[in-house]
């Protein structure tokens, strides 16, 4: 029998259906932890906003029934010094969906941190941080509205797993001896030693969640961020296992970036999520220079830690960044800042981080109308210069208000007229226009686009130009010339006809036309391209590494080769200038 936690009457529990999806009743019970320090101030303000949004969006048909759960100082007061009572753990699991304010980490007492305990106890393996810009929020970027990503950060592995051996300790000496004597490693004396475990299990469940999110929310891509070029068996393995889970479980809903270029010529097939990967350091540049390339990001603990704060800062959102920690079914949404104790009970701070964590919660349970209403009202209020003290510092001419007054202003806006239909339509249109512009760039100049978007090519298929024009050997040279001029290409691939099958595939370049047709005063309309073509084709298999390809080009003194698939069919062209451009951008290939 719970001592202090009571579920409100009139509410029903959220459950998981046999299809693994959340079953959300119209009157769900959702847990909340008020939090310490500024927690009560922001929680009070946010609850009013969330409840009002649900009321407005569904005309009273839906309502959240809040169940207070206890963690932190409030729990310690009620449960005899216990900061994280079993009753709360059980309720968080039982209710599936909860939201919490910030918690003080008790000093001493053997705690690492309440947040770490929470993640471990409930196996909340994915930290999810959506980052987008809200109009009016101060940002250092020229076009902050281009940033709209959701980061899935692995929560349980990596150097964060806490496997560390302090310099000088007996354990450190033991492991150092083992590494030197048994494994032949060398490193400086007295080095502290940390271990970085990355497992297929940990990787796959995280990437699975990211892909599921992308499919459900019609996102274009999932990017695996890693430093696999240096840490091959941990970060590199994360990349490998990430692609593996996409292939194993989402073959019908996903394609790789390689397929996007090689098979689909840069045009994303309707509804398919593109799985791609980026080296972590390049990712930081790209999020500043080409943020529209990215939708959902899946990465390990340490990369995710750096990346989520850096991207949040781009949109001025560190103070208002929302977040959630999730397991397969349990989700705890939370403000990402701390308890800011110096502002406690002053009704002063910005409720944005908790507020948008609640917006995430509403989206998670499928109540997107209420979520959109809050976001739209928030933008109107901030655009009118009504902000809390922190934003007032950087917004000239702003009106500084208290936390509760800020909540009042949002509620006022929600009660006025907000044309949600129009806001959504404009947003969808902007996203679609952006997608089409990107697609156009990929189709017109695939190689330039690939390199500029940070994709590191490994094989000739990664780097080749897939815009190959193949014509039957029976085509007249005249027709081929028209086509070459129209498409601005200097060669066409010649397919053998039934009569000359044994000669195989060939290529006809502009130079061939000059030397074999024009200079021989033959009429281009009278000559078949099979007669003007060069055969045999100099080919390279699609899985050839760039280094091997470069070596062949050098030793055979050739400038371009036709890339063929496993059945020997031409699928693209690679030239020495492609390899030159790739090495210039990414250095020597592995
Ligand atoms: P903090 O509480 O996040 O506060 C640092 C500064 O950030 C504040 O002084 C304030 O800056 C600004 N700030 C934080 N929340 C704000 C808000 N809602 N509105 C406006 N400004 C806000 O970090 P801390 O001082 O390092 O940590 C305090 C306690 O929180 C510690 O016990 C720590 O363990 C805990 N903590 C908890 C969580 C969590 O529960 N998720 C996370 C981090 C830290 P200005 O002074 O410049 O105005």
Cβ-based neighbour number of residue 53 at 10 Å:
26
Q: Give the pLDDT of residue 112.
A: 63
**For ligand 1, is residue 403 a contact (CB within 6 Å)?**
no
Q: What is the mean pLDDT of residues 184-189?
A: 95
- Could you tell me the distance, in angstroms and rounded to a whole number, from the CA of residue 341 to the centre of ligand 1? 8
Dump pLDDT digits (tens) for 461-518: 888 887 788 999 999 999 999 999 988 888 899 998 888 778 888 999 999 999 999 9
Ligand 1 contact, 223 CB (< 6 A): no
Distance 403 CA to ligand 1 centre (A): 16
Cβ of residue 449 lying under 6 Å from some atom of ligand 1: no
Residue with the smallest CA separation from ligand 1 atom 32 is 104
Q: What is the pLDDT of residue 38?
A: 96
43 pocket-lining for ligand 1 (C-beta < 6 Å): no
Mean pLDDT of 34-46: 96
Query: Which atom belonging to ligand 1 lies closest to the Cα atom of 354?
Result: 18
- Contacts of residue 380, Cβ cutoff 8 Å, sequence gap at least 6: 413, 418
Give yes or no for residue 139 CB within 6 A of ligand 1: no
Of all residues in the chain, the percent with pLDDT exceeding 90 is 69
Which residue, by CA, sits nearest to atom 18 of ligand 1? 350
φ and ψ of 334, to 5 deg: -155, 150
Confidence of residue 111 (pLDDT cuts 50, 70, 90): low
Distance 433 CA to ligand 1 centre (A): 39
Under DSSP, the state recorded for 243 is H
Provide the pLDDT for residue 431: 87
Which residue has a Cα nearest atom 3 of ligand 1?
A: 338
Tell me, in angstroms, the distance from the centre of ligand 1 to residue 221's CA: 33
Mean of the per-residue pLDDT values of the chain: 92
Residue 551 has pLDDT above 60, yes or no: yes
Which residue has its alpha carbon closest to ligand 1 atom 4? 340
Phi, psi of 273 (to 5 degrees): -90, 130
**Whether residue 590 has pLDDT greater than 70:** no
Ligand 1 probe mutation, 337, 343, 392, most atoms within 8 A of CB: 337
Q: How far is the CA of 44 from the centre of ligand 1 (A)?
A: 18
Query: In the chain, what percentage of residues exceed pLDDT 70?
Result: 99
Residue nearest to atom 1 of ligand 1 (CA): 338
Distance separating alpha carbons of residues 316 and 134, to the nearest angstrom = 9
Q: What is the pLDDT, as a whole number, of residue 170?
A: 96
Q: For ligand 1, is residue 334 a contact (CB within 6 Å)?
A: yes
Could you read off the pLDDT of 511-543 as tens digits, one per residue? 999 999 999 999 999 999 999 999 888 899 999
CA 340 to centroid of ligand 1, rounded, Å: 4
The number of the ligand 1 atom at minimal distance from the alpha carbon of 104 is: 32
The pLDDT, as a whole number, for residue 560 is: 86
CB of 106 shorter than 6 A to ligand 1: no
Nearest to 588 by CA among 164, 79, 229, 258: 229
User: Ligand 1: which atom is nearest the Cα of residue 336?
Assistant: 41
Tell me which DSSP letter residue 407 carries: H
- How many angstroms separate the alpha carbon of residue 342 from the centre of ligand 1? 9
363 pLDDT band (50/70/90 cuts)? very high
| Per-residue pLDDT, 56 | 93
Phi and psi angles of residue 111, each rounded to the nearest 5 degrees, phi first: -80, 145
The pair phi, psi for residue 548, each rounded to 5°, is -65, -40
| Mean pLDDT calculated for residue range 223-233 | 92
**Residue 342 Cα: closest atom of ligand 1:** 9
The finding on whether 337 has its CB within 6 A of some atom of ligand 1 is: yes
Q: Which of 39, 73, 84, 102 to mutate to test the pocket of ligand 1 (most atoms within 8 A of CB)?
A: 102
- Average confidence (pLDDT) over 40-68: 96
Of the listed ranges 35-49, 305-319, 370-384, 441-455, the least confidently predicted one is 441-455
Instruction: Give which of 60, 82, 61 is closest to 71, Cα–Cα.
Output: 82
- Residues annotated as catalytic (active site), given as ranges: 160, 227, 281, 305
**pLDDT at residue 571 in the model:** 85
Q: Determine the pLDDT at residue 510.
A: 93
pLDDT of residue 488: 83
For residue 338, how far is its CA from the centre of ligand 1 (angstroms)? 3
For Cα atoms 130, 23, 201, give the angle at the middle one, nearest 5 degrees: 55
For the CA atoms of the chain, what is the radius of gyration? Answer: 29
Q: What is the pLDDT of residue 110?
A: 55
d(CA 280, CA 300): 10
- Give the C-alpha separation, 495 to 504, whole Å: 8
Average pLDDT estimate for 306-310: 93
Does ligand 1 lie within 6 Å of residue 339's CB atom?
Answer: yes
Atom number in ligand 1 closest to CA 38: 18
Q: Is ligand 1 within 6 A of the CB of residue 104? A: yes
323-333 mean pLDDT? 96
How many Å apart are CA 238 and CA 517, to the nearest integer?
55
541: left (phi over 0), alpha (psi -120 to 50) or beta: beta
The single-letter DSSP state of residue 329 is: S
Mean predicted confidence (pLDDT) in 258-287: 91
Q: Is the pLDDT of residue 138 over 70?
A: yes
Identify the bridge partners of residue 146 per DSSP, sorted by sequence position: none
pLDDT (0 to 100) of residue 166? 95
Q: What pLDDT score was predicted for residue 65?
A: 98
Ligand 1 center to residue 193 CA distance, Å?
31
């Amino acid at each position: 029998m719970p001592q202090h936690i009571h579920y409100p009457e009139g509410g029903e529990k959220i459950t998981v259906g046999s299809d693994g999806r959340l079953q959300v009743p119209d009157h769900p019970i959702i847990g909340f932890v008020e939090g310490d320090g500024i927690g009560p101030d922001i929680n009070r303000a946010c609850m009013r906003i969330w409840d009002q949004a649900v009321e407005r969006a569904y005309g009273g048909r839906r309502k959240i029934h809040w169940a207070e759960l206890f963690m932190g100082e409030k729990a310690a007061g009620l449960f005899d010094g216990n900061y994280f009572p079993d009753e709360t753990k059980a309720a968080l699991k039982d209710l599936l969906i909860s939201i919490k304010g910030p918690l003080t980490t008790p000093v001493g007492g053997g705690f690492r941190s309440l947040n770490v305990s929470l993640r471990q106890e409930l196996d909340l393996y994915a930290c999810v941080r959506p980052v987008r810009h809200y109009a009016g929020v101060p940002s250092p970027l020229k076009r902050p509205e281009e940033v709209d990503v959701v980061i899935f950060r692995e929560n349980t592995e990596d150097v964060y797993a806490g496997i560390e051996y302090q310099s000088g300790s007996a354990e450190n000496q033991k492991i150092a001896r083992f590494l030197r004597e048994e494994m032949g490693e060398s490193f400086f004396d007295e080095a502290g030693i940390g271990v970085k475990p990355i497992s297929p299990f940990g990787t796959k469940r995280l990437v699975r969640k990211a892909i599921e999110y992308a499919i459900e929310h019609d996102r274009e891509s999932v990017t695996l961020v890693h430093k696999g070029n240096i840490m091959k068996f941990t970060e590199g393995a994360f990349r490998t296992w990430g692609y593996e889970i996409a292939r194993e479980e989402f073959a019908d809903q996903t394609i790789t970036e390689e397929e996007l270029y090689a098979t689909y010529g840069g045009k994303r097939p309707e509804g398919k999520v593109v799985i791609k990967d980026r080296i972590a350091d390049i990712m930081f540049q790209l999020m500043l220079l080409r943020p529209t390339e990215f939708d959902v990001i899946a990465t390990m603990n340490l990369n995710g830690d750096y990346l989520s704060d850096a991207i949040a800062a781009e949109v001025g959102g560190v103070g208002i960044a929302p977040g959630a920690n999730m397991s397969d079914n349990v989700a705890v949404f939370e403000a990402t800042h701390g308890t800011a104790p110096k502002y406690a009970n002053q009704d002063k701070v910005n409720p944005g981080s908790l507020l948008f964590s609640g917006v995430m919660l509403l989206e998670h349970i499928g109540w997107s109308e209420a979520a959109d209403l809050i976001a739209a009202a928030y933008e109107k209020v901030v655009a009118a210069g009504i902000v809390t003290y922190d934003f007032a510092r950087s917004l000239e001419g702003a009106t500084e208000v208290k936390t509760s007054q800020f909540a009042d202003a949002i509620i006022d806006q929600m009660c006025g007229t907000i044309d949600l239909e129009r806001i959504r339509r404009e947003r969808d249109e902007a996203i679609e226009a952006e997608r089409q512009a990107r697609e156009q760039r990929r189709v017109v100049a695939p190689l330039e686009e690939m390199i500029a978007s940070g994709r590191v090519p490994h094989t000739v298929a990664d780097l080749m130009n897939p815009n190959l024009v193949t014509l039957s050997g029976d085509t007249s040279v005249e027709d081929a010339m028209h086509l070459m001029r129209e498409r601005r290409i200097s060669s066409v691939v010649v397919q053998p006809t039934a009569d000359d099958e044994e000669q195989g595939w060939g290529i006809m370049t502009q130079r061939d036309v000059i030397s074999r047709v024009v200079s021989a005063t033959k009429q281009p309309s009278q000559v078949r391209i099979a007669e003007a073509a060069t055969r045999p084709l100099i080919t390279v298999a699609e899985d050839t590494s760039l280094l091997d390809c470069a070596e062949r080009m050098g030793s055979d003194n050739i400038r371009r080769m036709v890339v063929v698939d496993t059945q020997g069919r031409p699928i693209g062209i690679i030239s020495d200038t492609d390899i030159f451009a790739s090495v210039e951008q990414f250095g020597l290939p592995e």
